[in-house]
Amino acid sequence: MDDSLIKINVEDHEGNQQEIEVPTDISLSLMEVLKGMDYHILATCGGMALCATCHVEVKNGYQSLTEPNDDEWAMLDTLPKLTQTSRLSCQIKVNGLKPGMSFKLLGETQI
């Protein structure tokens, strides 16, 4: 068994839930990994915490993530669909994820 692969759950914009395996031994963001798996995330700013199209709601495991930085808070504050556990997935590193975490995609898919 490969210890660096963990399973997390992702719900797409249509409400389809899927368990996916993500590698945690790489320094990519959750946004980059999800985009690589063909999830519909525009990520127009390229991961700079400026566009919020990578907005996700953390349905499970929010407390185990590191705190958002000031730039992320500032961008989250502007979102109409803000939830109690909203994050920008470009600011979440996959090497900090834990098995069983769950994310719902909320970012705009057209701008």
CA distance 75 to 16: 26
CA distance 9 to 12: 10
Binding segment for ligand FES among 9-17, 18-26, 45-53, 57-65 (CB under 6 A)?
A: 45-53
CA distance 44 to 111: 9
Binding segment for ligand FES among 9-17, 49-57, 60-68, 93-101 (CB under 6 A)?
A: 49-57
**Among 6, 11, 40, 47, contact with ligand FES (rule: CB under 6 A):** 47
Minimum distance from residue 75 beta carbon to ligand FES (Å): 6
User: Is 43 an interacting residue with respect to ligand FES (CB under 6 A)?
Assistant: yes
Listed in sequence order, the residues at least 6 apart from 98 whose beta carbon sits closer than 8 Å to its beta carbon are 6, 61, 64
Q: Which residues of this protein are in contact with ligand FES, per CB under 6 A?
A: 31, 43, 45, 47, 49-54, 88, 90
